[in-house]
Amino acid sequence: MIPYFNAHLFNIGGVPIEMFGVLVALGIIVGDRIVVRQADKRGIEPRDAKFLNARIVIFGFIMAHLVSVLFYFPERLQENVAWTLLNVVTFWWWEFRLSQIQHWTYGLYFFVCVYASMYYFLSALLFPQDLDEYKGYQDYFLSRRRWFFGFAALTESLDVIDTLIKGEAHLRSLGSEYLVATAAFVLLSAVAARTPNPRFHMLFVLSAVAYEISFSIRHFSTLD
């Protein structure tokens, strides 16, 4: 495990590049090559090993961020615990169907990585490390609502592509309800991004979580 330390290297377009981040990136690259090589020795397809690595890395970043909030800023986790737990638990259950795809391309692999990364960005927006510039969490969230609901709408839109990748038959099995619900979510996300009304945000989130649970039980309780 790499202990955290602060060592600024340089900036790229105003974005600070830290030594810790560079070491983590190198560790991921080296680790990926080691896993792929060991998988090949054991007769495992390199594409399967790479897909596993992508899932581990992205899920690891999400959980590391949530764990840091849990231990250092537990009051912020309480604000969004339903959304957090629902998405972390269900995402890879939905993605398990991708294992049925026989022919993988780099474009498909890249899309899955980008799609999964959306959940990290959402988690990072929900659970910031520093609130010193704001009056409280609500003040922070309202100032970042356009980013959060924008990413939420984008994630939901990417889900349609992800569903289609799993096969047209899978998309048809979800019925017209799926596309109507997705369009409604994107539209309401646009409204939530514009309005600073906390009551609307709370009602929208609770309704979305309740519907997501209902939809998951009806369509994803088993993977055929």
Kindly list the domain boundaries of the chain, sorted by start residue: 73-220
Predicted pLDDT of residue 41: 85
Pick from 96, 90, 127, 123: nearest CA to 112: 96
More confident residue, 187 or 84: 187
pLDDT tens across 74-121, in order?
A: 665 555 555 666 666 676 666 666 766 777 777 887 888 788 788 878
Q: 130 is written with which tokens? A: 């520093």
For 47, how many CA atoms within 13 A lie in the half-sphere containing its CB? Answer: 13
Query: Residue 91: what are its φ and ψ, rounded to 5°?
Result: -60, -55
pLDDT tens across 96-108, in order?
A: 667 667 777 778 8
Taking CA atoms, 78 is separated from 66, 75, 85, 90, 133, in Å, by 12, 5, 11, 19, 21
Please name the helix (run of DSSP H) or strand (run of DSSP E) that holds residue 15, with its range, or none: strand 15-18
Task: Say which residue the tokens 């646009």 belong to.
Answer: 190
CA–CA gap between residue 29 and residue 117 (Å, rounded): 17
| Res. 36: pLDDT tops 90 | no
Taking CA atoms, 59 is separated from 90, 115, 127, 186, in Å, by 12, 12, 16, 24
Mean pLDDT on 36-63? 77
Predicted pLDDT of residue 158: 92
Mean pLDDT on 25-42? 85
